C-alpha cells in the first residue's frame, strides 16, 4: 500500500515539476494536490528520521508557492522531494 502510494507520489512529483516549467499552472496545481495527498499518508506512517527531511522540503515548497515562484517549486519538487521519496522507497 505504502509502496503504491510512494510510486504515485513520485509520478505526480515529476509531472508537477514538468508542468510548472511549461507554465501549465492549472494541471500542475492538480499534480501538486496529488503529491500533498500522498505525503499526508506517507508522513503519518514514516519514521521520524525519514519523515523530517520530507517535511522540511514541503515547508519550503509552500513558502515558494505562496510567492508564486513556480520554478523554485519545480526545483524543490524535482531535485529535493523526489530524491527523498526515492530514498524512502529504497529503504522499505
Partner 1 sequence: MRENMEILDRRWPALAAWLAQAPEAELLLLEGVPAPTLCVNGVQLAGAFAPRAEAELQGRLVPQDARSATVYGLGQGALPRALLRRSRLERLRLVLLSRAAARAALTYVELYDWLADERLDVLVATPELELETPFSASPAELLLADPEAWRLRDLVQLELATPYLRRRLEDQDGFSVENRLRNEGLRRSDRDVSVLDGAHKGCTVRVAASGPSLAEHFDALRAGGVPLVAVDSALAPLLAAGVVPDVVVTMDGNERSMLAVFDVPRERVRDVTLVYHPTSPHAVLAAWPGRRLAARPPGPRFEGFTRTVLWSSGSVLHAAVDLAARTRAARIELMGADFATPEGCTHVEGTAWRKSVEPHPARPRVLDGHGRPVLSLRNLVGYLHDLERYVAAHREIEFVNASRTGARIAGTRYHEELPHAA
Residues between 16 and 75 with contacts to partner 1, criterion CB under 8 A: 18, 20-27, 30, 65-72, 74-75
Query: Does the footprint of partner 1 cover residue 1 (CB under 8 A)?
Result: no
**Residues 13 and 78: beta-carbon distance below 8 Å:** yes
Residues 45 and 55: their CA atoms lie apart, in Å, by 13
Binding-site size, partner 1 (CB under 8 A)? 22
Residues 49 and 32: their CA atoms lie apart, in Å, by 24
- Would you say 10 or 74 has its CB closer to partner 1? 74
Among the residue ranges 1-9, 14-22, 33-41, 49-57, the one whose residues contact partner 1 (CB under 8 A): 14-22
Amino acid at each position: 500500500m505504502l509502496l503504491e502510494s510512494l510510486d504515485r507520489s513520485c509520478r505526480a512529483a515529476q509531472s508537477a515539476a514538468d508542468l510548472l516549467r511549461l507554465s501549465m499552472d492549472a494541471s500542475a496545481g492538480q499534480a501538486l494536490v496529488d503529491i500533498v495527498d500522498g505525503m499526508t499518508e506517507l508522513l503519518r506512517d514514516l519514521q521520524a528520521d525519514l519523515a523530517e527531511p520530507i517535511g522540511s522540503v514541503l515547508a519550503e515548497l509552500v513558502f515558494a508557492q505562496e510567492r508564486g515562484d513556480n520554478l523554485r517549486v519545480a526545483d524543490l519538487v524535482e531535485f529535493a522531494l523526489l530524491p527523498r521519496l526515492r530514498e524512502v522507497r529504497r529503504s522499505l
